[in-house]
Structure 1
Amino acid sequence: MDARSEVPVPAGDVQLTADLLVPAEPVGVVLFAHGSGSSRRSPRNVAVAQVLHRSSLGTVLVDLLTPDEEAVDARTAQLRFDIGRLAGRLSAIVDWLETGAPMGVVPIGLFGASTGAAAALVAAAERPDAVGAVVSRGGRPDLAGPALGRVRAPTLLLVGGLDDQVLTLNEQAREALPEQAELTVVPGAGHLFEEPGALEQVAHAAATWFTDYLG
Protein backbone atom coordinates (compact mmCIF):
# COMPACT_ATOMS: atom_id res chain seq x y z
CA MET A 1 0.00 0.00 0.00
CA ASP A 2 1.40 3.40 -0.95
CA ALA A 3 1.53 6.00 1.81
CA ARG A 4 1.47 9.79 1.52
CA SER A 5 2.05 11.90 4.60
CA GLU A 6 3.27 15.24 5.96
CA VAL A 7 5.90 14.72 8.64
CA PRO A 8 8.30 16.77 10.78
CA VAL A 9 11.93 16.24 9.78
CA PRO A 10 14.95 16.92 12.01
CA ALA A 11 17.54 19.10 10.27
CA GLY A 12 20.27 20.12 12.66
CA ASP A 13 19.05 22.82 15.03
CA VAL A 14 15.67 23.23 13.33
CA GLN A 15 12.69 21.06 12.50
CA LEU A 16 11.30 21.23 8.98
CA THR A 17 8.15 19.92 7.32
CA ALA A 18 8.28 17.38 4.51
CA ASP A 19 5.80 15.68 2.21
CA LEU A 20 6.55 11.96 1.94
CA LEU A 21 5.33 9.61 -0.74
CA VAL A 22 6.28 6.01 0.04
CA PRO A 23 5.70 3.20 -2.51
CA ALA A 24 4.70 -0.22 -1.28
CA GLU A 25 8.21 -1.60 -1.89
CA PRO A 26 10.63 1.32 -2.40
CA VAL A 27 13.89 0.59 -4.23
CA GLY A 28 15.28 3.96 -3.15
CA VAL A 29 14.32 7.38 -1.86
CA VAL A 30 14.86 10.77 -3.51
CA LEU A 31 15.18 13.92 -1.41
CA PHE A 32 14.15 17.09 -3.26
CA ALA A 33 15.82 20.49 -2.83
CA HIS A 34 13.75 23.15 -4.58
CA GLY A 35 15.08 26.38 -5.94
CA SER A 36 14.79 30.05 -5.13
CA GLY A 37 11.30 31.38 -4.55
CA SER A 38 9.72 27.90 -4.77
CA SER A 39 8.37 25.45 -2.19
CA ARG A 40 7.82 21.76 -1.59
CA ARG A 41 4.39 22.18 -3.20
CA SER A 42 5.94 23.35 -6.49
CA PRO A 43 3.83 21.79 -9.28
CA ARG A 44 7.01 21.00 -11.22
CA ASN A 45 8.66 19.07 -8.40
CA VAL A 46 5.39 17.36 -7.48
CA ALA A 47 5.02 16.23 -11.10
CA VAL A 48 8.56 14.82 -11.13
CA ALA A 49 7.96 13.09 -7.78
CA GLN A 50 4.88 11.35 -9.16
CA VAL A 51 6.89 9.93 -12.07
CA LEU A 52 9.62 8.74 -9.67
CA HIS A 53 6.94 7.11 -7.55
CA ARG A 54 5.82 5.05 -10.54
CA SER A 55 9.38 3.71 -10.66
CA SER A 56 9.05 2.55 -7.02
CA LEU A 57 11.12 5.44 -5.67
CA GLY A 58 10.04 7.09 -2.45
CA THR A 59 10.17 10.89 -2.44
CA VAL A 60 10.75 13.52 0.25
CA LEU A 61 9.82 17.10 -0.68
CA VAL A 62 10.94 19.50 2.02
CA ASP A 63 11.13 23.25 2.57
CA LEU A 64 14.72 23.89 3.67
CA LEU A 65 13.88 27.23 5.30
CA THR A 66 11.69 27.61 8.38
CA PRO A 67 8.53 29.75 8.10
CA ASP A 68 10.32 32.65 9.83
CA GLU A 69 13.25 32.33 7.44
CA GLU A 70 10.87 32.18 4.49
CA ALA A 71 9.37 35.48 5.62
CA VAL A 72 12.82 37.07 5.78
CA ASP A 73 13.77 35.61 2.41
CA ALA A 74 10.57 36.94 0.84
CA ARG A 75 11.78 40.44 1.71
CA THR A 76 15.52 40.06 1.06
CA ALA A 77 15.89 37.08 -1.36
CA GLN A 78 19.16 36.30 0.44
CA LEU A 79 18.62 33.05 2.35
CA ARG A 80 17.75 31.16 -0.83
CA PHE A 81 21.38 31.71 -1.86
CA ASP A 82 22.79 30.58 1.51
CA ILE A 83 24.06 27.33 0.02
CA GLY A 84 25.93 26.36 3.20
CA ARG A 85 22.76 26.57 5.30
CA LEU A 86 20.67 24.67 2.74
CA ALA A 87 23.30 21.97 2.19
CA GLY A 88 23.77 21.49 5.92
CA ARG A 89 20.08 20.83 6.33
CA LEU A 90 20.02 18.45 3.37
CA SER A 91 22.92 16.54 4.93
CA ALA A 92 21.02 16.32 8.22
CA ILE A 93 17.95 14.96 6.42
CA VAL A 94 20.16 12.42 4.61
CA ASP A 95 21.38 11.29 8.05
CA TRP A 96 17.73 10.92 9.13
CA LEU A 97 16.87 8.92 6.01
CA GLU A 98 19.82 6.62 6.69
CA THR A 99 18.19 5.57 9.96
CA GLY A 100 15.38 4.04 7.91
CA ALA A 101 12.79 5.96 9.92
CA PRO A 102 10.44 6.98 7.10
CA MET A 103 10.65 4.08 4.63
CA GLY A 104 13.31 1.57 5.61
CA VAL A 105 17.01 1.51 4.79
CA VAL A 106 17.16 2.12 1.03
CA PRO A 107 19.62 3.94 -1.27
CA ILE A 108 19.34 7.74 -1.24
CA GLY A 109 19.33 10.17 -4.17
CA LEU A 110 19.12 13.96 -4.33
CA PHE A 111 17.10 16.00 -6.84
CA GLY A 112 17.91 19.71 -6.91
CA ALA A 113 16.41 22.58 -8.90
CA SER A 114 17.96 26.01 -9.43
CA THR A 115 19.88 27.01 -6.26
CA GLY A 116 18.69 23.78 -4.64
CA ALA A 117 20.92 21.88 -7.07
CA ALA A 118 24.00 23.56 -5.60
CA ALA A 119 22.90 22.59 -2.10
CA ALA A 120 22.30 19.01 -3.27
CA LEU A 121 25.80 18.77 -4.76
CA VAL A 122 27.42 20.15 -1.59
CA ALA A 123 25.42 17.67 0.50
CA ALA A 124 26.49 14.84 -1.83
CA ALA A 125 30.12 15.89 -1.32
CA GLU A 126 29.60 15.94 2.45
CA ARG A 127 27.86 12.52 2.53
CA PRO A 128 29.74 10.53 -0.16
CA ASP A 129 28.90 7.15 1.38
CA ALA A 130 25.20 7.92 1.76
CA VAL A 131 24.19 9.71 -1.45
CA GLY A 132 24.04 7.32 -4.39
CA ALA A 133 22.97 9.67 -7.21
CA VAL A 134 22.19 13.32 -7.94
CA VAL A 135 19.96 14.96 -10.57
CA SER A 136 19.97 18.71 -11.22
CA ARG A 137 17.07 20.40 -13.06
CA GLY A 138 17.92 23.81 -14.44
CA GLY A 139 20.42 24.00 -11.61
CA ARG A 140 23.15 26.36 -10.53
CA PRO A 141 25.94 23.84 -9.84
CA ASP A 142 28.47 26.68 -10.03
CA LEU A 143 27.21 27.86 -6.63
CA ALA A 144 28.52 24.62 -5.10
CA GLY A 145 32.05 25.97 -5.56
CA PRO A 146 34.98 23.68 -4.66
CA ALA A 147 32.57 20.96 -3.47
CA LEU A 148 32.02 19.97 -7.12
CA GLY A 149 35.40 18.29 -7.22
CA ARG A 150 34.51 16.18 -4.16
CA VAL A 151 31.22 14.80 -5.47
CA ARG A 152 31.42 11.03 -5.94
CA ALA A 153 27.77 10.32 -6.72
CA PRO A 154 26.82 9.85 -10.39
CA THR A 155 25.32 13.20 -11.40
CA LEU A 156 22.90 14.11 -14.18
CA LEU A 157 22.65 17.77 -15.19
CA LEU A 158 19.41 18.57 -17.05
CA VAL A 159 19.23 21.98 -18.74
CA GLY A 160 16.83 23.59 -21.21
CA GLY A 161 18.32 24.31 -24.62
CA LEU A 162 16.99 27.90 -24.47
CA ASP A 163 18.44 28.54 -21.01
CA ASP A 164 21.70 29.91 -22.40
CA GLN A 165 23.38 31.29 -19.29
CA VAL A 166 22.52 28.30 -17.11
CA LEU A 167 23.61 25.95 -19.89
CA THR A 168 27.04 27.59 -19.96
CA LEU A 169 27.35 27.30 -16.17
CA ASN A 170 26.40 23.61 -16.34
CA GLU A 171 28.90 22.93 -19.11
CA GLN A 172 31.62 24.41 -16.90
CA ALA A 173 30.41 22.44 -13.87
CA ARG A 174 30.42 19.19 -15.84
CA GLU A 175 34.17 19.60 -16.30
CA ALA A 176 34.66 19.89 -12.54
CA LEU A 177 32.48 16.89 -11.66
CA PRO A 178 33.71 13.27 -11.59
CA GLU A 179 33.59 10.98 -14.62
CA GLN A 180 30.13 9.63 -13.85
CA ALA A 181 28.46 12.92 -14.68
CA GLU A 182 26.36 13.70 -17.73
CA LEU A 183 24.89 16.88 -19.16
CA THR A 184 21.60 16.44 -21.01
CA VAL A 185 20.06 19.34 -22.91
CA VAL A 186 16.28 19.36 -23.41
CA PRO A 187 15.79 20.99 -26.85
CA GLY A 188 13.44 23.97 -27.01
CA ALA A 189 13.04 24.20 -23.22
CA GLY A 190 13.56 27.28 -21.08
CA HIS A 191 14.64 27.55 -17.45
CA LEU A 192 11.34 26.34 -15.97
CA PHE A 193 10.68 23.59 -18.56
CA GLU A 194 7.17 24.96 -19.12
CA GLU A 195 7.09 24.04 -22.82
CA PRO A 196 4.84 21.11 -23.83
CA GLY A 197 6.52 17.81 -23.02
CA ALA A 198 9.67 19.38 -21.53
CA LEU A 199 9.00 18.55 -17.88
CA GLU A 200 7.98 15.02 -18.85
CA GLN A 201 11.41 14.56 -20.44
CA VAL A 202 13.05 15.78 -17.25
CA ALA A 203 10.97 13.47 -15.07
CA HIS A 204 11.63 10.37 -17.14
CA ALA A 205 15.35 11.13 -17.44
CA ALA A 206 15.52 11.56 -13.65
CA ALA A 207 13.60 8.33 -13.04
CA THR A 208 15.94 6.41 -15.33
CA TRP A 209 19.04 7.91 -13.67
CA PHE A 210 17.87 7.15 -10.15
CA THR A 211 16.69 3.61 -10.91
CA ASP A 212 19.97 2.87 -12.69
CA TYR A 213 22.13 4.06 -9.79
CA LEU A 214 19.88 3.44 -6.79
CA GLY A 215 17.84 0.44 -7.85
Structure 2
Amino acid sequence: MTTGGTHTVTEIPVGDATLEGELAVPADASGLVVFAHGSGSSRHSPRNNAVAETLRERGLGTLLFDLLTEAEDRNRENRFDIPLLTDRLVAATTWARERPEIGDAYPIGYFGASTGAAAAIRGAARSETDVGAVVSRGGRVDMASEVLDELASPTLLIVGGEDESVLGLNREVYEAISCDADLRIVEGAGHLFEGPGELEEVSDHAADWFTTHLG
Protein backbone atom coordinates (compact mmCIF):
# COMPACT_ATOMS: atom_id res chain seq x y z
CA MET A 1 0.00 0.00 0.00
CA THR A 2 1.05 3.55 -0.63
CA THR A 3 2.65 5.22 2.39
CA GLY A 4 0.15 7.27 4.36
CA GLY A 5 -2.84 5.10 3.49
CA THR A 6 -5.11 3.26 5.90
CA HIS A 7 -5.69 -0.46 6.42
CA THR A 8 -8.45 -1.40 8.84
CA VAL A 9 -9.78 -4.77 9.96
CA THR A 10 -13.40 -3.97 10.63
CA GLU A 11 -16.91 -5.23 11.28
CA ILE A 12 -19.81 -4.34 9.01
CA PRO A 13 -23.27 -4.36 10.65
CA VAL A 14 -25.91 -5.63 8.23
CA GLY A 15 -29.34 -6.04 9.76
CA ASP A 16 -29.03 -8.75 12.42
CA ALA A 17 -25.65 -9.90 11.12
CA THR A 18 -22.12 -8.61 11.59
CA LEU A 19 -19.72 -9.26 8.73
CA GLU A 20 -15.94 -9.30 8.97
CA GLY A 21 -14.01 -7.15 6.51
CA GLU A 22 -10.78 -5.39 5.62
CA LEU A 23 -10.76 -1.85 4.25
CA ALA A 24 -7.52 -0.62 2.69
CA VAL A 25 -7.24 2.81 1.13
CA PRO A 26 -3.96 4.16 -0.34
CA ALA A 27 -3.19 7.80 0.31
CA ASP A 28 -3.59 8.66 -3.36
CA ALA A 29 -6.69 6.53 -4.01
CA SER A 30 -8.86 7.46 -6.99
CA GLY A 31 -11.68 5.07 -6.12
CA LEU A 32 -12.78 2.15 -3.94
CA VAL A 33 -13.41 -1.39 -5.22
CA VAL A 34 -15.74 -3.59 -3.17
CA PHE A 35 -15.24 -7.34 -3.63
CA ALA A 36 -17.95 -10.00 -3.82
CA HIS A 37 -16.40 -13.45 -3.53
CA GLY A 38 -17.78 -16.68 -4.90
CA SER A 39 -19.61 -19.45 -3.06
CA GLY A 40 -17.57 -21.17 -0.37
CA SER A 41 -14.93 -18.45 -0.37
CA SER A 42 -14.33 -15.49 1.94
CA ARG A 43 -12.43 -12.24 2.37
CA HIS A 44 -9.31 -14.41 2.67
CA SER A 45 -9.61 -15.65 -0.94
CA PRO A 46 -6.01 -15.77 -2.22
CA ARG A 47 -7.13 -14.92 -5.77
CA ASN A 48 -9.20 -11.91 -4.76
CA ASN A 49 -6.44 -10.73 -2.43
CA ALA A 50 -3.94 -10.96 -5.29
CA VAL A 51 -6.22 -8.82 -7.45
CA ALA A 52 -6.78 -6.40 -4.55
CA GLU A 53 -3.03 -5.96 -4.07
CA THR A 54 -2.62 -5.00 -7.72
CA LEU A 55 -5.51 -2.54 -7.47
CA ARG A 56 -3.95 -0.87 -4.44
CA GLU A 57 -0.62 -0.63 -6.27
CA ARG A 58 -2.55 1.18 -9.00
CA GLY A 59 -4.03 3.68 -6.54
CA LEU A 60 -7.39 2.12 -5.73
CA GLY A 61 -8.84 1.36 -2.32
CA THR A 62 -10.26 -2.10 -1.62
CA LEU A 63 -12.92 -3.56 0.65
CA LEU A 64 -12.88 -7.33 1.04
CA PHE A 65 -15.52 -8.75 3.36
CA ASP A 66 -17.42 -11.92 4.16
CA LEU A 67 -20.85 -11.92 2.54
CA LEU A 68 -22.04 -14.45 5.13
CA THR A 69 -21.36 -15.05 8.81
CA GLU A 70 -19.68 -18.31 9.80
CA ALA A 71 -23.02 -19.72 10.94
CA GLU A 72 -24.76 -18.70 7.71
CA ASP A 73 -22.00 -20.17 5.59
CA ARG A 74 -22.58 -23.63 7.10
CA ASN A 75 -25.90 -23.70 5.23
CA ARG A 76 -24.88 -24.41 1.65
CA GLU A 77 -28.10 -22.88 0.30
CA ASN A 78 -27.04 -19.45 1.58
CA ARG A 79 -23.96 -19.56 -0.64
CA PHE A 80 -26.18 -19.59 -3.71
CA ASP A 81 -28.82 -17.17 -2.42
CA ILE A 82 -27.94 -14.42 -4.90
CA PRO A 83 -30.62 -11.96 -3.67
CA LEU A 84 -29.25 -12.31 -0.12
CA LEU A 85 -25.65 -11.84 -1.29
CA THR A 86 -26.72 -8.81 -3.32
CA ASP A 87 -28.41 -7.26 -0.30
CA ARG A 88 -25.23 -7.78 1.72
CA LEU A 89 -23.10 -6.19 -1.00
CA VAL A 90 -25.40 -3.17 -1.25
CA ALA A 91 -25.44 -2.79 2.56
CA ALA A 92 -21.64 -2.94 2.69
CA THR A 93 -21.51 -0.25 0.01
CA THR A 94 -23.74 2.00 2.10
CA TRP A 95 -21.57 1.29 5.15
CA ALA A 96 -18.41 2.21 3.21
CA ARG A 97 -19.88 5.50 2.04
CA GLU A 98 -20.68 6.38 5.65
CA ARG A 99 -17.06 5.87 6.70
CA PRO A 100 -15.25 9.18 7.21
CA GLU A 101 -12.27 8.06 5.10
CA ILE A 102 -14.58 7.22 2.18
CA GLY A 103 -17.72 9.37 2.21
CA ASP A 104 -18.38 10.90 -1.19
CA ALA A 105 -14.67 11.25 -1.94
CA TYR A 106 -14.29 8.10 -4.01
CA PRO A 107 -16.31 6.55 -6.82
CA ILE A 108 -17.07 2.90 -6.07
CA GLY A 109 -16.61 -0.18 -8.25
CA TYR A 110 -17.52 -3.84 -7.79
CA PHE A 111 -15.28 -6.86 -8.41
CA GLY A 112 -17.19 -10.13 -8.41
CA ALA A 113 -15.88 -13.68 -8.76
CA SER A 114 -17.94 -16.74 -9.70
CA THR A 115 -21.39 -16.43 -8.05
CA GLY A 116 -20.24 -13.16 -6.48
CA ALA A 117 -20.22 -11.65 -9.96
CA ALA A 118 -23.98 -12.15 -10.15
CA ALA A 119 -24.36 -10.23 -6.89
CA ALA A 120 -22.04 -7.52 -8.24
CA ILE A 121 -24.11 -7.01 -11.38
CA ARG A 122 -27.38 -7.13 -9.48
CA GLY A 123 -26.04 -4.64 -6.97
CA ALA A 124 -24.73 -2.30 -9.66
CA ALA A 125 -28.14 -2.39 -11.36
CA ARG A 126 -29.70 -0.84 -8.26
CA SER A 127 -29.89 2.92 -8.58
CA GLU A 128 -29.01 3.57 -4.94
CA THR A 129 -25.53 2.05 -5.24
CA ASP A 130 -24.28 4.47 -7.93
CA VAL A 131 -21.51 2.04 -8.95
CA GLY A 132 -18.99 3.43 -11.42
CA ALA A 133 -17.69 0.14 -12.86
CA VAL A 134 -17.99 -3.64 -12.53
CA VAL A 135 -15.46 -6.39 -13.19
CA SER A 136 -16.36 -10.09 -13.23
CA ARG A 137 -13.77 -12.88 -12.94
CA GLY A 138 -15.04 -16.26 -14.11
CA GLY A 139 -18.48 -14.99 -13.17
CA ARG A 140 -21.81 -16.74 -13.17
CA VAL A 141 -23.21 -13.58 -14.67
CA ASP A 142 -26.11 -15.54 -16.13
CA MET A 143 -27.56 -15.53 -12.61
CA ALA A 144 -28.11 -11.78 -13.04
CA SER A 145 -29.55 -11.91 -16.55
CA GLU A 146 -32.93 -10.48 -15.54
CA VAL A 147 -31.40 -7.14 -14.44
CA LEU A 148 -29.17 -6.51 -17.46
CA ASP A 149 -31.60 -3.96 -18.89
CA GLU A 150 -31.13 -1.90 -15.72
CA LEU A 151 -27.33 -2.13 -15.69
CA ALA A 152 -25.67 1.18 -16.56
CA SER A 153 -22.21 0.67 -15.01
CA PRO A 154 -19.35 -0.07 -17.44
CA THR A 155 -18.83 -3.81 -17.09
CA LEU A 156 -15.83 -6.01 -17.88
CA LEU A 157 -16.22 -9.78 -18.10
CA ILE A 158 -12.97 -11.78 -17.71
CA VAL A 159 -13.14 -15.50 -18.46
CA GLY A 160 -10.64 -18.32 -18.93
CA GLY A 161 -10.45 -19.65 -22.45
CA GLU A 162 -10.66 -23.24 -21.20
CA ASP A 163 -13.57 -22.52 -18.85
CA GLU A 164 -15.92 -23.49 -21.66
CA SER A 165 -19.32 -23.54 -19.94
CA VAL A 166 -18.77 -20.26 -18.10
CA LEU A 167 -17.29 -18.69 -21.23
CA GLY A 168 -20.44 -19.57 -23.16
CA LEU A 169 -22.63 -18.00 -20.48
CA ASN A 170 -20.47 -14.87 -20.45
CA ARG A 171 -20.67 -14.52 -24.22
CA GLU A 172 -24.47 -14.59 -24.01
CA VAL A 173 -24.54 -12.00 -21.23
CA TYR A 174 -22.01 -9.78 -23.02
CA GLU A 175 -24.22 -9.71 -26.10
CA ALA A 176 -27.22 -8.81 -23.93
CA ILE A 177 -25.58 -5.91 -22.05
CA SER A 178 -26.60 -2.56 -23.51
CA CYS A 179 -24.19 -0.35 -21.53
CA ASP A 180 -20.42 0.00 -22.03
CA ALA A 181 -18.99 -3.52 -21.73
CA ASP A 182 -16.11 -5.72 -22.80
CA LEU A 183 -15.25 -9.42 -22.73
CA ARG A 184 -11.62 -10.42 -22.12
CA ILE A 185 -10.57 -14.04 -22.55
CA VAL A 186 -7.45 -15.30 -20.79
CA GLU A 187 -6.28 -17.91 -23.26
CA GLY A 188 -5.51 -21.33 -21.80
CA ALA A 189 -6.93 -20.47 -18.38
CA GLY A 190 -9.45 -22.60 -16.50
CA HIS A 191 -12.04 -21.40 -14.00
CA LEU A 192 -9.49 -20.72 -11.24
CA PHE A 193 -6.77 -19.03 -13.34
CA GLU A 194 -4.10 -21.20 -11.75
CA GLY A 195 -1.57 -21.21 -14.60
CA PRO A 196 1.57 -19.05 -14.71
CA GLY A 197 0.73 -15.40 -15.28
CA GLU A 198 -3.02 -15.99 -15.62
CA LEU A 199 -4.11 -14.30 -12.41
CA GLU A 200 -1.69 -11.45 -13.11
CA GLU A 201 -3.43 -10.95 -16.44
CA VAL A 202 -6.80 -10.85 -14.68
CA SER A 203 -5.44 -8.29 -12.21
CA ASP A 204 -4.04 -6.08 -14.97
CA HIS A 205 -7.32 -6.15 -16.92
CA ALA A 206 -9.26 -5.28 -13.76
CA ALA A 207 -6.90 -2.48 -12.77
CA ASP A 208 -7.03 -0.96 -16.25
CA TRP A 209 -10.83 -1.06 -16.25
CA PHE A 210 -11.23 0.48 -12.81
CA THR A 211 -8.60 3.20 -13.25
CA THR A 212 -10.27 4.15 -16.54
CA HIS A 213 -13.83 4.29 -15.23
CA LEU A 214 -13.26 5.34 -11.61
CA GLY A 215 -10.55 7.93 -12.31
**TM-score (norm. length: structure 2):** 0.94
Q: Residue by residue, what CA displacement relative to the aligned partner does 1:192-215 show, whole Å, maximum 9, x if unpaired?
A: 000100000000100000000001
Select the residue among 27, 32, 35 that pairs with 1:32. 35
**2:117 matched residue in structure 1:** 117
Q: Is 1:82 paired with 2:81? A: yes
Kindly state the Cα deviation for residue 39 of structure 1 after the two structures are TM-superposed: 1.0
Distance 1:52 1:141 in 2: 22
2:187 corresponds in structure 1 to: 187
Gaps of 5+ in 2: none
For the 8 Å contact 2:13–2:19, the answer to whether it is kept is: yes
Deviates most, 156-165 or 15-24: 15-24
Q: Which contiguous aligned blocks of 4+ residues in structure 1 show a shift greater than 4 angstroms?
A: none
Aligned-pair CA distance for 1:104: 4.0
Measure how far apart 1:129 and its partner are.
5.7
Scaled by the length of structure 1, the TM-score of the pair is 0.94
Cα deviation 1:102-156 (Å, max 9, x = unaligned): 4342100000000000000000011366100000000000011311221100000
How far 1:97 moved relative to its partner? 2.2
* Structure 1 counterpart of 2:19, from 16, 24, 27: 16
Match of 1:213 in 2: 213
Q: Does 2:69 match 1:66?
A: yes
- Native 8 Å contact 1:91 1:127 kept in 2: no
Residue of structure 1 equivalent to 2:204: 204
- State how 1:125-140 maps to structure 2 within 5 Å: 125-127=125-127, 130-140=130-140
Structure 1 unmatched ranges of 5 or more: none
In the alignment, is the contact (CA less than 8 A) between 2:19 and 2:66 conserved in 1?
yes
Q: For residues 140 and 126 of structure 1, what CA distance do their matches in structure 2 show?
A: 18
CA contact (8 A) 1:133 1:213 kept: yes
CA RMSD across the alignment:
1.3
Q: Give the drift of 1:4.
A: 1.6
Matches of 1:208 and 1:142, distance apart in 2 = 24
- Count of aligned residue pairs for this structure pair: 211
Structure 2 Cα separation of the partners of residues 148 and 96 of structure 1:
25
Contact 1:159 1:186 in 2 (8 A): yes
Q: Give secondary structure in 2 for the equivalent of 1:78.
A: helix
Structure 2: distance between partners of 1:78 and 1:100: 31
The aligned residue for residue 96 of structure 2 is 97
Question: Given that residues 151 and 179 in structure 2 are in contact (C-alpha distance below 8 angstroms), is that contact kept between their aligned partners in structure 1?
Answer: no
Q: Cα–Cα, structure 1 residues 178 and 157, in superposed 2: closer, same or farther, change >3 Å?
A: same
Q: CA separation in 1, counterparts of 2:129 and 2:61?
A: 19
Q: Which amino acid aligns with 1:188?
A: G
Q: Which amino acid aligns with 1:45?
A: N
